[in-house]
Amino acid sequence: MIEIAPHETLPDTLRGSVVAIGNFDGLHRGHRELIAVAKKIAAEKNVPWGLVTFEPHPRSFFRPQEPVFRLTPYPLKLRLAETLGAHFVACLAFDEALANSTPEEFIAEQLVAKLGLSHIVTGYDFHFGKGRKGGPETLRAMGEKLNFGVTVVDQVTDDGDERAPFSSSSIRTALRRGHVKAAARELGYPWTVMGEVVHGDKRGRTIGFPTANIVVDPGAEPFRGIYAVTVRELGSTVEWQGAAYFGDRPTFETNRTFLEVYLLDQDIDLYGKTLLVSFIDLIRGDKAFKSVDELITQMHQDCKDVRKVLASHALNHP
């Protein structure tokens, strides 16, 4: 898969492609329906297909002081797109110039001149251009003028329930409440964090639970607690079982947010490795303990509970 970075143009071999456009945060089941339409059209036209997305997230541009809870930060989005078979991902820089472009300028300059697309697939609720004044009808009108096709995909719901369309917002809400199974149903896979293992304070080793410490994006805010997880190194199919902690270590009063992963039945040096941590189920909420011994006792119980959850887990990862 080819990554087209901001301010790069599509190579000649990919011009005339079919593209699906959107933020695609999570690449959830609704997004995948849109992508399936793009793939089908590309196959019929015998041309490549890809995704067009934006960085940073538009909300980060307009409200930089408010970190966004990204379901799939850009590196993970690229990986997911590759697993779906995309020939390319074109990333457009969401900057001052793009934010102030009229819908017509955006289409002519970014989609036609830069990407040279032949057909665009978008969701019913995709809006763009200054003041978000552009929408599906704008695309259709410009498509007739500039000679590209447009397909608009209606909202996608679970089993036809119009009250519950798949959305990134509802997935974030589920994760904030610790409802990781509900989030996985909407995503089509377990919510996954990708990150590099860094050196921590090695406190886990002193109490018999050495953990891999992973830096998470500032906006990440799932429910604080202990989770049953599966873990893989990027590029590997070997899966490990683990117990993950997301929280602020109230017992030790650190006032920092951590993602720590303890691998069951493994003793592996993971420093500097990039891991994919998939959240399978919540075991319990975070809490402060009166003593370290009380914490250790609870952690042994947590690991037993994790084993029970993962014993019936079926592999279904991005």
Identify residue 217 by its one-letter amino acid code.
Answer: D
- Stretches where the chain sits below pLDDT 50 are 252-253
Residue-level pLDDT at 162: 54
Answer for the pair 84, 10: CB distance below 8 angstroms, yes or no.
no
CATH top class, domain 2-160: alpha beta
How far is Cα 294 from Cα 297, in angstroms, rounded to an integer?
5
How far is Cα 129 from Cα 112, in angstroms, rounded to an integer?
15
CATH 3.40.50.2000, applies to 191-311: no
Q: What is the pLDDT of residues 157-216, one digit of tens each?
A: 666 555 568 899 999 999 999 999 999 999 999 999 999 998 866 555 555 688 899 988
pTM of this prediction? 0.90
Residue-level pLDDT at 252: 47
Residue-level pLDDT at 203: 57
Query: What is the bridge-based pairing of β-strands 49-55 and 18-21?
Result: parallel
Residue-level pLDDT at 182: 95
Taken in order 279, 306, 245, 288, the sign of the CA dihedral is positive
Residue ranges covered by each domain of the chain:
2-160, 191-311
Enclosing H/E stretch for 77:
helix 74-83
Residue-level pLDDT at 313: 73
